[in-house]
Structure 1
Amino acid sequence: MPSRKKTSMFASAFCTCVSSFAVICVALATPQWVSSEVRFSRTGTTVTVSLTYGLFSGTCEQFVDAGLQVSKTTFQVSEALSSSSCRSLVVATIVVLVLALLSSLLSAGFTCTNTVSNPYQTFLGPVGVYTWNSLCGVLTLIAMILFPVNVEGNSLSEELAHSCSSSLQAHLGSKHNYGYSYWIMLLILFLNIASLIIIYFYDHARYSKKKEQARPIENAPKDVILF
């Protein structure tokens, strides 16, 4: 049976892994990744399309300089995109986050296993926890890079704005503000780092204890060892 110290530390790491899993689910499910205001010219006036969207769905509304406001509409991101590059990066971001979700789930499973058993010498031990937590963190970081690249580099908001409004002409400018669905991925990174730190301290303490226990044998007289 694992010691009380090991159980408490791996239980803490398990909580951070489960929290990471939950936050990834929230990030995937909520449509508050970015809010954009995209300005276009239209014959005799200027139109501002305001969008708020995530990886799957969003809302948009139009404001005309004359003061007219068109009612808010809902759209599906995949259906609204005609550009293959924009669609590919959206799909890539979703896939990366799903893989991060699976990594977080596996990490939670490994930490749970370690709270009730002692698989030190196998991949189920601290090595497995290090691996899955690190992978989850890296994948989350990749998702945080891919999405702004799509918004800023591929003009994702402008592409979606065209699906929300017809007869838009020249693009005049855009303003983007990233929402909580995007920034909570920083929390995922912090939770994974916290898990790694907890397991590292436990692993380091266990190694130090083993080293201390080995010293009396190393320092014992040869005749005592032979005896």
Structure 2
Amino acid sequence: MPSRKKTTMFASAFCTCVSSFVLICVVLATQQWVSSDVLFSRTNTSITISLDYGLFRGTCEQFVEAGLQVSKQTFQVADSLSSTNTRSTNVAIIVILVLSLLTSLLSSGFTCTNAVSNPYQTFLGPIGVYTWNSICGILVLMAMILFPVNVETHGLSEELARGCSTSLQSHIRSQHSYGYSYWIMLLVLFLNIASLIIIYFYDHARYSKKKEQERPIENAPKDVILF
């Protein structure tokens, strides 16, 4: 049976891994990734398209310069994308997040296994936890980088806005504000780092204790040497 200290520390890491798994599910399920106001010119007037969307769906509203507001529409992101860059990047982000979800689940399983058993010398031990947590963190970081690239560089909001209205002419400017669905990924990164730190401190303490037990007897304190 594992020691109480080992059980406590791996149980703590298990909680952070499960929290990471739940938050990635929230990131995929919610659509508050970004809010954009995209201004276009149209014959004799200008029109602003206000969008709120995520990886799968979103809503848009039209505001004409004169103050006229068109009713809110719901759209599917995949159906509104025609550019190869925006479509492929959006699919890549979804795949990356699904992979991070799987690695987070594996990390949760490994920490749970370590909390109730003693697989010290196998990949099921701390090495496995390090591996899956690191992969999960890297994948989430990639998703955090790719999404702004798709919005800012590939013009994702502008492309979605054109699908919400007809007769739009030249694009004038865009303003973007990233929502809680996007920033939750930052919390996922912190949770993965916390898991790694917990396991590192446990592994380091165990290594130090092992080295202490292996000291030559001549280095031991004289008052504990028995003849």
- The interval holding the TM-score normalised by the smaller chain is over 0.9
Q: By how many angstroms is 1:216 displaced? A: 4.3
Matched ranges for 1:126-205 at <5 A: 126-205=126-205
Question: Following the alignment from structure 1 to structure 2, what is the Cα–Cα distance between the partners of residues 167 and 16?
Answer: 50
Unaligned residue ranges in structure 1 (runs of 5+): 221-227
Give the corresponding residue for 1:224: none
Instruction: For residues 125-177 of structure 1, give each alpha carbon's deviation from its aligned partner in whole angstroms, at most 9, with x where no partner exists.
Output: 00000000000000000000000000000000000001100110010100000
Pairing 1:1-227 to 2, within 5 Å after superposition: 1-217=1-217, 219=219
Residues 86, 218 of structure 1: alpha-carbon distance in 2 compared, 3 angstrom cutoff: farther
What per-residue deviation string (whole Å, max 9, x for no partner) do you get for residues 157-205 of structure 1? 0000011001100101000000010011000000000000000000001
Secondary structure at the aligned position of 1:169 is classed as coil
Alpha-carbon distance between aligned partners in 2 of 1:29 and 1:60, rounded to the nearest angstrom: 19
> What is the rounded CA distance, in whole Å, between the counterparts of 1:106 and 1:52 in structure 2?
33
Q: Deviations over 1:31-67 (max 9, x none)?
A: 1000000000111110000000000010000000111
Give the SS at the match of 2:175: strand
Cα RMSD (Å): 1.0
Distance 2:45 2:67 in 1: 11
Following superposition, the deviation at residue 217 of structure 1 comes to 4.5
> 1:99, 1:119 → 2: CA distance?
25
Moved over 3 A (4+): 216-220
What's the TM-score once normalised by structure 1's chain length? 0.95
Q: Which moved more, 1:38-47 or 1:207-216?
A: 207-216
User: Given residue 169 of structure 1, which amino acid in structure 2 is its aligned partner?
Assistant: Q
Query: Is the partner of 1:176 in helix, strand or coil?
Result: strand
For 2:38, give the aligned amino acid. Answer: V
Question: Hey, what's the Cα distance between the residues in 2 that align with 1:37 and 1:150?
Answer: 16
Aligned residues: 220
| Counterpart residue identity of residue 108, structure 1 | S
Q: Distance in 1 between matches of 2:172 and 2:193?
A: 42
Where does structure 2 lack aligned partners over 5 or more consecutive residues? 221-227
TM-score normalised per structure 2: 0.95
The amino acid across from 2:16 in the alignment is T
| 1: CA distance, partners of 2:162 / 2:217 | 76
* Counterparts in 2 of 1:218 and 1:159: CA distance versus 1, 3 Å: farther
